[in-house]
DNA sequence: CTTATTAGTTAAGTTTTGTTAACTATATCT
DNA sequence: AGATATAGTTAACAAAACTTAACTAATAAG
């Protein structure tokens, strides 16, 4: 196997393990909270960096305004999202997580981080440092490909 | 930031980029083929390593036998799966991809690999080698944590 | 000012995906 | 052989997640 093939293979192998773990964590989280994939998706977006409009959510999820409005409404009824009138433009709504919503999502995010910390415990400082440099390199290379698929 | 925190951060950063890319590729693939998440899931499992029973599919997806049977039937009607009687146990069915199914899934898998090869082009041989060692180490460490969450 | 656009909601109906329950056919156990 | 278990299918129905179309309210443009 050529070095590049080897590279390709280990990238895929690591991704397979990481994805498998993330997916099963995600699935368990959905079962525990009674939230659907779309629900978690929306709450995550509000958690990281916030977001204003109902339309924006629809656009990003590739669904109609109406569908987004209904899903958001469901989350409002569950007490996960607070929906208030935007004072700048009173047609629009400002969406943000409630205390309850934030706590639940935080719990999910923390659970995911914990596994990585666990991983670090199985690696000595030199190894951690080497992996850190390697992944930094990889991330930089990936960012370059974003505009050249 | 401590070396371990740095480690944790870059692992998450790389995962974020990789996942984002995988997800949008996956979504596009679903749109192009008209297949649902569950459909692709089943076809992928049959593609990698094959699988026999309808029940096994149900178990792995966390749905009932009946639901698995219906979804499989849908894929048979689409011409993606061939469903034959298992000669060893005539109650059971042997499921495998048809030519058409295999070609479609292969196309999806190839598209995903292509990006990684693209990535390699942005890295010189020394960098590739270093990343290969790092990810091998990381994968090994991850496998150790599987039985100790 | 009045017309058009934009943001969001609501109602009605469809599609997808799942469940439960009843059934067929084969295999296994005693 | 006869009772029981297993693999899968089918029918009837329920829930989730969409869509389209009609509607309200606020803003932007002529």
Question: Is the Cβ–Cβ distance between A120 and B4 less than 8 Å?
Answer: yes
Q: How confident is the model at residue A148, as a pLDDT? A: 53
Is there a contact between A100 and A106 (Cβ–Cβ < 8 Å)? no
Q: Which domains does chain B have, with CATH numbers?
A: 3-145 (1.10.10.10)
> Which chain B residues are within 8 Å of A120, Cβ to Cβ?
4, 7-8
Kindly tell me if the per-residue pLDDT of B34 is higher than 70.
yes
Which letter does DSSP use for residue A85 in this model? E
Closest C-alpha among B16, B146, B17, B2 to residue A119? B146
What pLDDT score does B44 carry?
95
Q: Which residues from A are below 8 Å from B22, CB to CB?
A: 15, 19
At residue A64, what are phi and psi to the nearest 5 degrees?
-75, 160
The whole-angstrom separation of Cα B33 and Cα B82 is 18
C-alpha triplet A116, A117, A121: angle, nearest 5°: 115
What would the pLDDT profile of B119-144 be if each residue is shown by its tens digit?
Answer: 999 999 999 999 999 999 999 999 98
Residue B66 has which token pair?
Answer: 């009946």
Nearest chain B CA: its distance from A44 CA (Å): 13
CB distance A12 to B115 below 8 Å: no
Q: Is B135 exposed, middle or buried (0-12, 13-18, 19+ CB in 10 A)?
A: buried
Residue A147 pLDDT more than 60?
Answer: no
Mean pLDDT of the residues in chain A: 93
Q: Is the pLDDT of residue A47 over 90?
A: yes
Does B148 score more than 70 pLDDT? no
Contact yes or no for B7 and A130 at CB 8 A: no
Question: Is B2 near chain A, with CB under 8 Å?
Answer: no
A70 touches strand D (CB under 7 A): yes
pLDDT at A50: 80
List phi, psi (to 5°) of A63. Answer: -125, 170
Protein footprint on strand C: which nucleotides are under 7 Å from a CB?
Answer: 6-11, 16-22, 25-28
Q: Is residue A94 within 8 Å of residue A52, measured between CB atoms?
A: yes
User: How confident is the model over B48-105, as pLDDT tens digits?
Assistant: 988 789 999 999 999 999 999 999 999 999 999 999 999 999 999 999 999 999 999 9
The residue of chain B nearest to residue A37, with distances taken between CA atoms, is B37
CA distances to A6, B26, B142 from B115, rounded to whole Å, are 15, 13, 24
Residue A127 to residue A149: CA distance in whole angstroms: 32
Beta strands in B21-126 (DSSP E): 81-85, 93-97
- Distance, first Cα to last Cα, chain A: 25
B10 contacts on A by Cβ (under 8 Å)? 131-132, 135-136, 139
What pLDDT, on a 0 to 100 scale, did the predictor assign at position A1? 87
């Amino acid at each position: 196997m050529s070095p590049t093939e080897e590279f390709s293979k280990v990238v895929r192998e690591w991704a397979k393990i990481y994805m498998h773990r993330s997916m099963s964590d995600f699935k368990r989280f959905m079962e525990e909270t009674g939230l659907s994939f779309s629900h978690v998706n929306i709450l995550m977006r509000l958690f990281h960096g916030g977001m204003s409009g109902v339309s924006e959510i629809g656009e990003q999820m590739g669904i109609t305004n109406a569908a987004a409005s209904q899903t958001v409404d469901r989350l409002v009824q569950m007490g996960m999202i607070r929906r208030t009138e935007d004072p700048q433009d009173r047609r629009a709504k400002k969406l943000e997580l409630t205390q309850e919503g934030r706590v639940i999502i935080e719990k999910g995010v923390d659970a995911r981080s914990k596994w990585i910390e666990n991983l670090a415990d199985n690696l000595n400082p030199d190894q951690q440092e080497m992996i850190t440099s390697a992944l930094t390199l990889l991330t930089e290379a990936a960012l370059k490909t974003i505009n050249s698929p």
